[in-house]
């Protein structure tokens, strides 16, 4: 937000007003040097003094009015405050419907299907500054190949904070003394390739190179039957919400055999800066990183992997061989 501008009524304010040295009224006969010969001069001086006093009083009155003017909120600032209040109320109203709903869970799931892939956004891309960007509510999440990879990765929790969700790494990563034994991700992930339109099946590679992400997973054309369970998402881009920089999304876990939605995460994000980027911030990414502007918000989860943290509560990955 730009700083408040000086009201126009203050631009005409006098720099200084002083009534010092002004004498009201005319000299009296007891004053030294008073003679009939200078009576006319004294009378004229008295008139000038009274006129100056009148002008001084008027100036002081103007200053009081200008002071009241200065206390009046600037129109631009007032408009921002009103918009902020409306946006905050809208975000809080949307948050009443946010959260995770799980109807049932499934254990020992080997693989899942991703019906859509979060597409990469270039560094500092225009999408972060677009109020209608479809993926705004998940702008902080990994995308592209890394979006796929997160479901294959193993989770490493810390010994001193076992209640917190852990970070993700290749299953063959060496275990640190600070980490608990890892929880495996899914053995495979399938998705429809947007370019070739072919079905791809990805697995964690057997010979990963920690220096190259390209060696973390292996993806091949799949000719097998698709997994029973799928993760889908639906981005919410209501124009009236986006006017106030409020974005939403729904993540759904679907049983493809029955068409049943067995779990759903509804999430909303709000940028209280309304897209301002004067400080170098990327509005949607910045909003996704603040607990106060995301609902639901979980302090026990790292950023960037909200989809994985959600789906593995519902479709519990099979551990072991």
Query: Percent of the chain at pLDDT above 90?
Result: 56
Task: Tell which phi-psi region holds residue 218, choosing left (phi > 0), alpha (psi between -120 and 50) or beta.
Answer: beta
Nearest to 76 by CA among 127, 1, 168: 1
pTM summary value: 0.74
42: exposed, middle or buried (C-beta count within 10 Å: 0-12, 13-18, 19+)?
middle
CB 190 within 8 A of CB 227: yes
Average pLDDT estimate for 255-259: 96
- Give the pLDDT confidence score for residue 32 in this predicted structure: 37
Domain residue ranges in the chain: 25-72, 77-317
**Residue predicted with more confidence, 102 or 22:** 102
Asked if residue 54 has pLDDT above 50, the reply is: no
- Residue 64: CB atoms within 10 A of its CB come to 10
Mean pLDDT of the chain: 80
Name the more confident of 16 and 219: 219
Taking 50 as the threshold, does the pLDDT of residue 41 lie above it? no
Contacts of 266 (CB under 8 A, 6+ apart): 97, 98, 99, 101, 248, 249, 250
State the pLDDT at residue 45.
41
The per-residue pLDDT for 72 is 55
Name the more confident of 9 and 252.
Answer: 252
Q: Residue 168 has which token pair?
A: 């993700």
Q: 249, 300 in Cβ contact below 8 A? A: no
Read off the pLDDT band of 75 (50, 70, 90).
confident
- Which residue bears the tokens 């001084």? 56
As beta bridge partners, residue 250 has 234, 266
Q: How confident is the model at residue 193 (pLDDT cuts 50, 70, 90)?
A: confident
Highest mean pLDDT among 74-78, 106-110, 195-199, 279-283: 106-110
**pLDDT for the residue 208:** 75
Q: For residue 15, what pLDDT is reported?
A: 39
Which segment, 34-38, 178-182, 266-270, is predicted with the most confidence on average? Answer: 266-270
Question: Using 50, 70 and 90 to split pLDDT, how confident is the model at 120?
Answer: very high
Q: What's the pLDDT at 73?
A: 64
Residue 115 pLDDT exceeds 50: yes
Q: What is the pLDDT of residue 223?
A: 84
Question: What's the pLDDT band for 24 if we cut at 50, 70, 90?
Answer: very low
Does the structure show a pLDDT above 80 at 48? Answer: no
pLDDT band at 139, cuts 50/70/90? very high
Q: What is the pLDDT of residues 203-255, one digit of tens each?
A: 998 877 776 777 789 999 988 778 999 999 999 999 999 999 999 999 999 99
Cα dihedral 248/253/256/261 (nearest 10): -80
- Contact predicate 64/261, CB 8 Å: no
């Amino acid at each position: 937000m730009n700083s408040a501008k000086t009201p126009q009524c203050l631009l005409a304010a006098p720099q200084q007003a002083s009534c010092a040295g002004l004498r009201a009224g005319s000299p009296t006969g007891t004053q030294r040097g008073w003679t009939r010969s200078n009576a006319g001069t004294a009378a004229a001086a008295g008139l000038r003094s009274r006129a100056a006093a009148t002008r001084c009083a008027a100036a002081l009155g103007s200053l009081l009015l200008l002071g009241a003017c200065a206390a009046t909120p600037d129109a631009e600032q007032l408009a921002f405050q009103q918009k902020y209040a409306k946006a905050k109320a809208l975000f809080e109203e949307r948050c009443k419907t946010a959260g995770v709903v799980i109807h049932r869970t499934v254990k020992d799931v080997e693989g899942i299907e991703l019906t859509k892939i979060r597409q990469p956004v270039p560094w500092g891309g225009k999408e972060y500054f677009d109020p209608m960007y479809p993926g705004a509510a998940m702008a902080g999440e990994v995308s592209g190949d890394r979006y796929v990879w997160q479901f294959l990765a193993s989770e490493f929790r810390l010994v001193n904070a076992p209640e917190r969700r852990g970070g993700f790494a290749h299953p063959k990563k060496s275990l640190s003394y600070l980490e608990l034994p890892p929880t495996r991700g899914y053995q495979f992930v399938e998705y429809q390739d947007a370019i070739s339109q072919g079905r791809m099946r990805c697995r964690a590679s057997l010979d990963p190179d920690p220096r190259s992400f390209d060696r973390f997973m292996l993806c091949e054309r799949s000719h097998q039957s698709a997994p029973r369970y799928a993760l889908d998402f639906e981005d919410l881009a209501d124009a009236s919400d986006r006017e106030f920089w409020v974005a939403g999304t729904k993540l759904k876990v679907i049983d493809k055999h029955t068409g049943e939605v067995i779990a759903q995460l509804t999430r909303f994000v709000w940028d209280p800066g309304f897209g301002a980027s004067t400080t170098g911030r990327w509005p949607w990414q910045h909003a996704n990183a603040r607990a106060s502007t995301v609902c639901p918000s979980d302090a026990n989860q790292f950023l960037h992997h909200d989809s994985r943290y959600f789906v593995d509560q519902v479709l519990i990955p099979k551990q072991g061989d």
